[in-house]
A and B are shown apart, each in its own frame.
Chain A
Amino acid sequence: MVRPATRAGRIERRIARAERGPADAVDAGPSRRGRRSTPYLLVGPGVAWLVLLFVVPLGSLLVTSLKTGSFAEGFETAVRLRNYSDALSESWEAIKRSFVFALVATLAAAAIGYPLAYVIAFRGGRYKGLLLGLVVLPFFTSFLMRTLAWKTILSDSGTLNTTVDRLHLFGALEFLRLVPEGSDRLLQTNIAVIGGLTYNFLPFMVLPIYVSLEKIDRRLVEAARDLYSNAFRAFRKVVLPLSIPGVMAGSLLTFIPAAGDFVNAELLGGPQQTMVGNRIQSRFFEQVDYPAAASLSFVLMALILIGVLLYARLLGTEELTG
C-alpha cells in the first residue's frame, strides 16, 4: 500500500512541477528587492497578537490548573498536582466518552464525506461549483440552530423516531450500544450526540478531501485505469493513496472540535452522554472551581496533542501544516 502511494505521489509531483514552470521557481526564492527587516515588520503584529492571546493564556491556564483554594476563600498559586489526578479520576468516563464519540463521528463523517467529495470532484462536471456550494450552504446558519433542528427531527413523536421503532431497528442500535437497553427513543442517546457531531463537522471532512481529489492529475487516473483494467483497483492503487492527505487533514479537523464539543451532548444527549467539554464548562461556571476546570482543559489538550502527533507519525506530516 505504501510503495505505490509514494510512487504515484512522486509522478504526480513531477507533472505538477513541470506544469508550473519557472514562475513558481521565482516565488520559492527570496525576495530580491525587500529589505531584510520587511518580513518581520509584516509578521510582527500578528505574531505578537498570537503570542499574547494564545501562548500567554495557555501559560495562565497552566498556572491556574495548579492552584489551591476555593472560589469563596480565594485561589492561591501553588503546585498542586492532585488537581490533575482528581480531574482524571472524576472525569475519566467523560474523557473516554469524548474520544470514543469523536472517533465514531470522524469515521462516520469520512464514510459519508469521502464518496460525496469523490462524486463532486470526479463526476461533478459543470456543477462542481454548485455542488460544493450546496455542501457549505447549511453551515451558513447558526450552529446552535442546526443542532436544535436535529432535536426537532429526532423528537419522540417525530417521523424518524416512529419509523425506527416500527422497523424494529432499536434492537440493532441497542446491540451497537448506540442506544441504552430497552430504549424506544433517539433523543438523549449516544446516537443522537454522535449524529449531531458528525453532522456539525461534516464540511471539515468533505472540503479537504475534495481539495486533495481535485488536485489529482486526471491523466494519472486514466493511466491507472488502462494499467489496472479495473476501476476499483485503479481507485485503490492511485486515487485513494493520493487523497490520503485530504482524509488526514479532514479527520483532524473533524476529530478535534468533536472531542472538545459540549453543545451536541448538552442539546441532544442526556446525563449518560456527558463529554469532557461539558465537565470543563460546568467546573468553570457552575462549581466555579477554576483549578479543576483548568487542569481538565489541559488534560484534554495534552491527550489531543499526543493523538495528533501519533497520527502524524503514522501517516507523515508533509501535508499537515499546509
Chain B
Amino acid sequence: MTVLRRLAPRLLDAWAGVALLYLFTPIFVIVAFSFNDTGRFNLIWQGFSLDAWKQWTDSEPLTDALTLSIKVAAVSTLAATVLGSLIALALVRHRFTGSGVTNLLLVLPLTTPEVVLGSSLLSLFIDLGVSRGFWTIVVAHTLFCVSYVAVTVKARIRGFDWTLEDAAMDLGAAPLRTFRLVTFPLILPGIVAAALLSFALSIDDFIITFFNSGNEQTFPLYIYAQQRRGLGPEVNVVATLVLVVSFGLSIASVVVQRLRARPA
C-alpha cells in the first residue's frame, strides 16, 4: 500500500506526459513533413528539404484560400466581438426580464452540432435565394463566434468591482466618459481574449463553412478539396506558420497583460 501511495503521483505524472505526447504527435508530423523532399504526395518521408519553405507562396490557390480565410476571420471577429461583448456587458451588469432567454439563446448554438447549424443556415439561404459566397461565410462564422465571445467575456468580467463606475460618476464624469475611462479599460483584456478565440475559431472552421461557401474556398476547404489529389508540403508550411503566428499572438497577449498588471 505504501509503495502504491508513493508510486501514485509518479504514475499520474507519467500518464499526463503520455497524454501530452498524444496531443503533440500529429503536430510533430505536420511540422516535420513541411521539410519533406517530395512533390504532391506528402505521405512518406523522403528526405530533408527546404524547398517547400522557399516556394510556399508559389501556389496561387493556396495563397488565395489563406487570404480569404484571414479576411473572413477579420470581418466576422469584428462583428462578433462587438455584438457578443455588448450582450455580455448587459448580462453581467444588469438584471432584466429576458436575461434567462438571452442566456439560453447564447448557449444553444454551442450545444448544437455544427452540421445542424451549417445545414439550417444553408436551408435559409436556399429559401431566400441568396447565393453562397464571401458574405454567407462571414454571416455563418459571426453566428457561432457571437456565442463564444459573449460566454468568454461574461466569464472574464464577472466579479469585477463595478463601484469604480459609481466613483467615476460621483466625481462628475458623464456616462460616456465613465465608460471610456473606467469601464472599457477594465473589460478590455476579456474582450481581447474573446476576439483572439473568435479569430482562431473562424480561421479553422470547416463544417459550417463547407455548407455555406458556394464556390469560395477558405484554407480548410482548400485542404479538404486537395487532399484526395494529394497535398504538397507547402500546405504543411502554411499550417506550421499558422501555428507559430497564433502561438506568438497568445504569448504576446499574456506578456502584455502581465506588463499592464504590474504597477508602474
Interface residues of A (CB under 8 A from B): 20, 23-24, 26-27, 29-34, 36, 38-40, 42-43, 45-47, 49-51, 53-58, 60-61, 63-64, 112-113, 115-116, 118-120, 123, 129, 131, 133-135, 137-138, 140-146, 148-150, 152-153, 155, 157, 199, 202, 231-232, 252-253, 256-257, 259-263, 267, 276-277, 280-281, 284, 290, 293-294, 297-298, 300-301, 304, 308, 321-322
Q: Taking the complex as formed, is B220 at the interface, i.e. its CB lies under 8 A from any CB of chain A? A: yes
**Which residue in A33, A55, A145, A277 is a CB contact (below 8 Å) of B239?**
A145
Q: Once the chains bind, are A290 and B126 in contact (CB under 8 Å)? A: yes
Q: Other than the known A40-B98, A142-B220, A256-B111, what 10 A-B pairs have Cβ atoms closer than 8 Å?
A: A112-B22, A116-B19, A120-B16, A138-B24, A140-B242, A146-B27, A253-B110, A256-B112, A281-B115, A281-B210
Q: Once the chains bind, are B83 and A46 in contact (CB under 8 Å)? A: yes
Return chain B residues, CB-CB under 8 Å to A61: 116, 119-120, 123-124
Closest to B8 in A: A231
Q: Taking the complex as formed, is B127 at the interface, i.e. its CB lies under 8 A from any CB of chain A? A: yes
Q: Once the chains bind, are B93 and A321 in contact (CB under 8 Å)? A: no
Q: Taking the complex as formed, is B223 at the interface, i.e. its CB lies under 8 A from any CB of chain A? A: yes
Interface residues of B (CB under 8 A from A): 5, 8-9, 12-13, 15-16, 19-20, 22-27, 29-30, 33, 43-44, 82-84, 86-87, 89-96, 98-99, 102-117, 119-124, 126-127, 139-140, 142-143, 146-147, 150-151, 154-155, 158-163, 165-166, 169, 175, 200, 204, 206-207, 210-211, 219-220, 223-224, 227, 231, 235-236, 239-240, 242-243, 246-247, 250, 254
Return chain B residues, CB-CB under 8 Å to A115: 12, 15-16, 19
Known pairs A138-B27, A149-B26; A280 contacts B119 (CB<8 A) = yes
A-B contact list, 9 entries, CB within 8 Å: A36-B96, A47-B87, A131-B20, A143-B204, A145-B30, A199-B22, A290-B123, A298-B116, A322-B154
Known pairs A120-B16, A260-B115, A322-B154; A138 contacts B23 (CB<8 A) = yes
Q: Tell me the interface secondary structure of chain B in the complex.
A: helix
**Which residue in B13, B89, B163 is a CB contact (below 8 Å) of A23?**
B163
Q: Once the chains bind, are B96 and A144 in contact (CB under 8 Å)? A: no
Q: Once the chains bind, are A260 and B106 in contact (CB under 8 Å)? A: no
How far is B165's CA from A23's CA once the two chains are assembled, in angstroms? 13
Closest to B119 in A: A297
Return chain A residues, CB-CB under 8 Å to B240: 141
**Which residue in A36, A51, A153, A260 is a CB contact (below 8 Å) of B29?**
A153
How far is B84's CA from A259's CA once the two chains are assembled, in angstroms? 27
